[in-house]
């Protein structure tokens, strides 16, 4: 059983109200009694409950987390890291999924504010320009987003994968994402293009704009590697490649981003890049707790992405066909 205020009061022979005032630093309580109350509370292992903390601090001790799409395996991973660090900091957390819809995102933020959260962590829906909420907030998007708090180094990740493909002899690439409405995907593509070396060329394609056809056209003109902006995009490309009889990696290399749960069990296993979700969650919560406690917030953080090379970008073992069926 957790000790209560009345247990401290009974041990010291004073009223529960006096104990409460002593712990809160209010009312007419002598310094001697306040010291004895705190000592007895420590001895008994007393910890104030959420309601007591809320009364004392005027805060709910709850944070809100707005996610763009829980069907994407990346975001449950992020949610776990954020929840773990919020609980360590003494805050509960409420989670909402905007299902990739702008209106749902705005409604989720409004509901969180109605429930009295002290602060928000927001991973915005792609292409969203957020109105500044009236509580402290941490934005997890991409370093190029105004007001971003912490994110992976998406441009750096794009540069890393292009260098990896160049080291394996690829000079003609296809860079393909889901939609250029996503700042994250645009930054990954930008990092790829910025890292193209002498003699390297790249075709950029988007699935939302007939990207599969563009990709196959580039392969037919000699491209030997496909660098995608996410493992989900890579998975969508792999099926058509298989149907066309194009072997990965023997004829075309393939890479992704985010190291989602299926990346290591795909056939071939997918080369990908990943950022430390724990570091991102830790910085987001550290920023919010600093603001809530009146301390200087740490500067925005850019978390490096780590390359995980797998079979999908192994050195080619077969000569490329002159004509590849589309």
Tokens of 44: 């008994």
Query: According to the model, what pLDDT value does residue 324 have?
Result: 45
Q: What is the pLDDT of residue 247?
A: 95
By C-alpha distance, which of 30, 8, 32 is closest to 19? 8
Q: Mean pLDDT lowest for which of 14-28, 200-214, 267-281?
A: 14-28
Mean pLDDT for 195-221 is 96
Q: Which fold has domain 62-151+277-303?
A: Rossmann fold (3.40.50)
First to last CA, the chain: 69
pLDDT number for residue 101: 82
Residue 323 reports pLDDT greater than 60: no
CB 215 within 8 A of CB 174: yes
Domain spanning 154-275+307-313: which superfamily? Response regulator (3.40.50.2300)
Higher-pLDDT residue of 299, 319: 299
Same topology between domain 62-151+277-303 and domain 154-275+307-313: yes
**Which pLDDT score is estimated for 50?**
54
| Helix axes 16-24 and 5-12, enclosed angle (nearest 10) | 110
- Cα 99 to Cα 32: distance, rounded to the nearest angstrom: 56
Domain coordinates of the chain in residue numbers? 5-48, 62-151+277-303, 154-275+307-313
Mean per-residue pLDDT, 58-62: 78
How do residues 6-57 score in pLDDT, each as one tens digit?
A: 889 899 999 888 888 787 766 678 888 888 988 988 888 887 665 555 545 5
Give the pTM.
0.80
Mean model confidence pLDDT for the chain: 90
Q: Which residue has the higher pLDDT, 41 or 280?
A: 280
Confidence of residue 58 (pLDDT cuts 50, 70, 90): low
Flag the least confident range among 2-6, 227-231, 308-312.
Answer: 2-6
- For residue 4, name the pLDDT band (cuts at 50, 70, 90): confident
User: CB count, 10 Å around CB of 251?
Assistant: 19
């Amino acid at each position: 059983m957790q000790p209560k205020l009345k247990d401290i009061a009974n041990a010291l022979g004073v009223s529960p109200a006096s104990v409460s005032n002593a712990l809160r630093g209010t009312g007419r309580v002598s310094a001697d009694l306040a010291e004895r109350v705190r000592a007895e509370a420590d001895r008994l292992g007393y910890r104030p409950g959420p309601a007591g903390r809320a009364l004392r601090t005027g805060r709910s001790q709850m944070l809100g987390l707005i996610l763009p799409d829980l069907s994407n395996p990346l975001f449950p991973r992020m949610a776990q890291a954020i929840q773990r660090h919020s609980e360590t900091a003494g805050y509960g957390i409420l989670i909402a999924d905007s299902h990739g819809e702008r209106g749902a995102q705005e409604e989720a933020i409004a509901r969180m504010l109605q429930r009295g959260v002290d602060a928000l962590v927001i991973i915005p829906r792609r292409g969203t320009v957020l109105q500044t909420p009236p509580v402290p907030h941490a934005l997890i998007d991409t370093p190029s987003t105004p007001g971003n708090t912490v994110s992976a180094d998406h441009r750096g990740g794009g540069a890393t994968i292009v260098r990896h493909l160049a080291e394996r002899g690829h000079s003609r690439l296809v860079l393909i994402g889901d939609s250029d409405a996503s700042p994250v995907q645009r930054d990954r593509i930008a990092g790829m293009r910025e890292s193209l070396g002498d003699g390297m060329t790249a075709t950029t394609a988007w699935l939302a704009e007939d990207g599969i056809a563009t990709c196959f056209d580039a392969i037919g003109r000699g491209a030997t590697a496909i660098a995608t902006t996410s493992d989900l995009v890579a998975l969508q490309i792999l099926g058509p490649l298989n149907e066309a009889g194009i072997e990965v990696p023997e004829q075309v290399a393939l890479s992704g981003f985010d190291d989602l749960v299926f990346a290591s069990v795909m056939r071939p296993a997918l080369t990908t890049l990943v950022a430390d979700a724990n570091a991102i969650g830790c910085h987001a919560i550290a920023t919010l707790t600093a603001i809530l406690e009146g301390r200087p917030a740490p500067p925005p953080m850019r978390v490096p992405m780590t390359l995980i090379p797998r079979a999908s970008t192994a050195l080619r073992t077969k000569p490329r066909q002159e004509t590849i069926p589309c």
